[in-house]
């Protein structure tokens, strides 16, 4: 084997012993000299395998309550020496430093300790010093040393030494070095981000080791990957693997439906990250049917989401539609049986978790990071700008439309009536175009806009939009306000008995 080296000695010091026994037994079979510390040493001894205590090399015991065990020149000299360097070879003999060919070490579970809500004292004690140093040293010296830095890599390492009688090639050592630096950089990022919650240093660090290659990106000629823990958010019950575009639509669906958490049964259908249908009704079936009526054409191939359990009656209706993904907090047994009738249909159960509170996207040669838009417009924050005030039904529709508008591509106008999306104008370069698009679409699907309401994601610089809306039969408007020409729109509404409320909050979605 090219640049192959036989492992003759190994330092093993791990926090988790899961899966370690087969490796130790295999190394022992191959006559590898094993060095270890503390609990790991006891674990190996209990397997009936001879092990040399690290303190027998260093002449120092584990000190400071276990904070210092392996931090010693004889340990790091054994790992970092260059076996083709005459000076290093001479110093190894002079200082009686033992050669260490393999390092098997994992790190204290810092992230899990933080996630558990532990005290700061406990969290700080889970910042590994010796372990991270051993990993960096062994990975740096991959020319002569192999580093196994995670329980996740035990099986691969065991297969390697079993197949090659303890020999490891340079390619193998470099491969495990890359894995090791992935572990160490991720660990340091987690620690920094923990401290930076309070410090707020102007630095951006993100590390995600859970990655999945997708079939392709937005288009078949693009590669695509998802980095994250999908299973933390969903239980996938059925269907094919999610695509890049599926994941974007699922993210948009979850963000939109979060606005209706705890509300009456609400159902939404999304296409290309925008809602093409959404409605709130007394039952999930009624909500689905009303959402579908919003745009039955665009619903084809869409992502469906409910804020309540999907029952048999609703599932029977959904089954007639070709859709990519269905998301709900739960499904009845009969509903699942029906929906599983299409083998590729993806069925997800959304778990109760807190989603990240920042958004990140690439921009030029860097990234843009911002707080999530966590403001939901409520009646308490509304200011009536006109003499005519919205009635109770209009007010409910205005807030319903505002929630949809917040999650629709800018420039956007949303038209709603009876807690049902009539139509929206999405991603237009002017607000007038967005409104005209929404009106034409609503008419195409036979919506009567008399008494409907309009939501806008930003203010109206001119009264043209309220005039167009008035001519279409719309009676109430919700918008952020803030234009130096707000009064022009207010005057028009007053003259034509329209109600208009200001939220004071713009909800652009670029």
Catalytic positions? 140, 272
Residues constituting the chain: 510
| Number of helices (H), then strands (E), in the chain | 19, 23
Strand 266-271 relative to strand 302-306: parallel, antiparallel, unpaired?
A: antiparallel
Residue among 25, 40, 75 at smallest CA distance from 54 = 75
The token pair that represents 94 in the structure block: 């002079």
**Helical (H) or strand (E) element with 406:** helix 392-406
d(CA 428, CA 463) in angstroms, rounded, equals 18
**Alpha helix positions (H), 267-342:** 284-294, 312-319, 333-339
Do the beta carbons of residue 277 and residue 268 sit within 8 Å?
A: yes
Handedness of CA 389, 441, 320, 260 (dihedral sign): negative
Helix (H, G, I), strand (E, B) or coil at 335: helix
The tokens describing 362, both together, are: 């690439």
Eight-class DSSP state of 259? G
Name which of 280, 315, 272 is nearest 427 in CA terms.
Answer: 272
* φ/ψ of residue 506, rounded to 5: -85, 140
Task: Answer for the pair 145, 13: CB distance below 8 angstroms, yes or no.
Answer: no
Strand segments, DSSP code E, in 109-242 are 146-148, 167-168, 211-213, 225-227, 234-238
Structure tokens at 304: 């469906």
Output the CA angle 504-429-224, nearest 5 degrees. 95
Query: CB–CB of 205/189 below 8 Å?
Result: yes
Cβ atoms of residues 5 and 101 within 8 Å: yes
Positive or negative torsion for Cα 297, 301, 305, 308: positive
How far is 360 from 372, CA to CA, in rounded Å? 10
Phi, psi of 218 (to 5 degrees): -60, -30
Name the token pair of 350.
Answer: 């959304």
């Amino acid at each position: 084997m090219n640049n192959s080296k036989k492992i003759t000695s190994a330092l093993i010091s791990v926090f988790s012993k899961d899966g370690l026994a087969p490796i130790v037994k295999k190394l022992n079979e191959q006559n590898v000299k094993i060095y270890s510390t503390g609990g790991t040493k006891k674990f190996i001894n209990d397997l009936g395998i001879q092990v040399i205590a690290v303190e027998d090399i260093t002449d120092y015991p584990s000190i400071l309550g276990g904070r210092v065990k392996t931090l010693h020149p004889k340990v790091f000299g054994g790992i970092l020496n260059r076996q083709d360097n005459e000076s290093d070879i001479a110093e190894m003999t002079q200082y009686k430093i033992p050669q260490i060919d393999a390092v098997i070490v994992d790190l204290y579970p810092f992230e899990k300790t933080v996630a558990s809500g532990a005290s700061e004292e406990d969290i700080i004690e889970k910042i590994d010093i010796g372990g991270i140093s051993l990993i960096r040293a062994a990975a740096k010296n991959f020319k002569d040393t192999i580093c196994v830095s995670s329980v996740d890599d035990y099986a691969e390492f065991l297969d390697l030494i079993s197949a090659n009688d303890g020999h490891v090639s340079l390619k193998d050592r470099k491969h495990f070095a890359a894995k090791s630096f992935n572990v160490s950089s991720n660990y340091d990022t987690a620690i920094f981000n923990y401290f930076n919650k309070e410090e707020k240093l102007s630095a951006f660090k993100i590390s995600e080791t859970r990655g999945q290659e997708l079939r392709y990106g937005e288009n078949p000629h693009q590669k695509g990957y998802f980095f994250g823990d999908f299973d933390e958010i969903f239980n996938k019950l059925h269907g094919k693997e999610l695509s890049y575009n599926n994941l974007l639509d699922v993210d948009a669906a979850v963000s939109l439906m979060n606005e209706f958490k705890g509300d009456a049964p609400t159902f939404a259908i999304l296409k290309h990250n925008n809602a093409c249908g959404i409605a709130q009704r007394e039952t999930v079936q009624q909500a689905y049917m009303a959402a579908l009526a919003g745009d039955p054409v665009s619903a084809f191939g869409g992502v469906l989401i409910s804020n309540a359990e999907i029952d048999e009656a609703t599932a029977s209706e959904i089954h007639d539609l070709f859709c990519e993904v269905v998301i709900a907090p739960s499904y009845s047994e009969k509903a699942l049986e029906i929906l599983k009738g299409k083998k590729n249909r993806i069925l997800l159960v959304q778990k109760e978790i807190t989603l990240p509170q920042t958004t990140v996207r690439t921009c030029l040669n860097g990234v843009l990071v911002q707080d999530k838009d966590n403001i939901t417009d409520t009646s308490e924050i509304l200011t009536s700008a006109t003499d005519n005030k919205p009635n109770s039904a209009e007010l409910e529709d205005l807030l319903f439309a505002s929630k949809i508008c917040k999650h629709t591509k800018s420039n956007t106008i949303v038209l709603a009536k009876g807690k049902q999306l009539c139509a929206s104008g999405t991603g237009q370069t002017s607000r007038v175009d967005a409104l005209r698009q929404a009106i034409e679409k609503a008419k195409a699907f036979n919506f009567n806009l008399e008494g409907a309401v309009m939501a806008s994601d930003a203010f109206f610089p001119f009264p043209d939009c309220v005039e167009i809306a008035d001519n279409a039969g719309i009676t109430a408007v919700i918008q952020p306000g803030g234009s130096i020409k707000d009064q022009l729109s207010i005057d028009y509404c007053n003259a034509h008995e329209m109600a208009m409320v200001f939220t004071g909050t713009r909800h652009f979605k670029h």
